Amino acid sequence: MIREKKIENLEQDEAEGVSRYSLSNKEIVKNTQRTISLYAREVMLATYSAGFPLETFKEEYLKFVESLLPIWYSNSGYDSMLWALSIGILLEIDDEVFDKLVDLVRKDDPVDYLIDYLIHYRQPSWEIRNDFMFPRPYVFTEKITQADSSAEATKLLQFYLEKEWYQGQRDSGWYDLHKINIKSFFGYWCFEAGAICKIMGLNPDDFKEVDYFPYDLVVGED
């Protein structure tokens, strides 16, 4: 609430032509909004990792989605959108909420197979394009989603979870966070794996013991 009040005060200053800092009011507002979104994301992830009821997790998810609306761009927020779309699919979130995410993607228009694939599940008219903004590790998901059989897709998804996903996150700010600052560790979850499992009709029990797979979210267990 403190940061929200700060934004409110800055917007009032901007309307009155008052500047109290070296940065412009608009720049400070945008930076504060980014901080709010980052915090909302971490709280959401920590809520799931700590095993809170899915209804509580959903509440934090909705806050996270709202936090993305004023600040999201694909070049700096790819993983946030990937998680937001994937979790929205797993929670079977209302169209009104999901469409807010789609509108952000439409506005920024990233050419990305995986984001397109997730949106296409909820909006079949959405075009899936054959390119990736971040090939490592996400290019492997194309193999999974285009597998010829459920057995092959299951094998490939398990490989993605065990050998590709976390290892491909070395450039992420949260990579190896559990080794650096355990107090800030909020858990590692490959939400797109859960969404792909659901979209393809795979058996989530095949991944129950696989690291990073959000099993409870896929099967809907609190």
Domains of the chain: 1-71 (no CATH), 81-222 (1.10.3920.10)
pLDDT one digit per residue (tens) for the chain, 222 residues: 545 555 455 455 445 454 555 555 556 667 788 888 888 999 999 999 999 999 999 999 999 999 999 999 888 899 999 999 999 999 999 999 999 999 999 999 999 999 999 999 999 999 999 999 999 999 999 999 999 999 999 999 999 999 999 998 888 777 677 777 666 678 899 999 999 999 999 999 999 999 999 999 999 976
CB neighbour burial string for 119-129, b if at least 16 within 10 angstroms, e if fewer: beebeeebeee
pLDDT of residue 172: 79
d(CA 216, CA 220): 6
Helix pair angle (74-90, 191-200), 10° resolution = 50
User: What percent of the residues of the chain are helix, what percent strand, and what percent coil, each to the nearest 5?
Assistant: 70, 0, 30
pLDDT of residue 179: 78
pLDDT of residue 151: 98
Q: Is the pTM of this model over 0.95?
A: no
In degrees rounded to 5, what are phi and psi of residue 188?
A: -115, 120
DSSP assignments along 132-147, one per residue:
-SSHHHHTHHHHHHT-
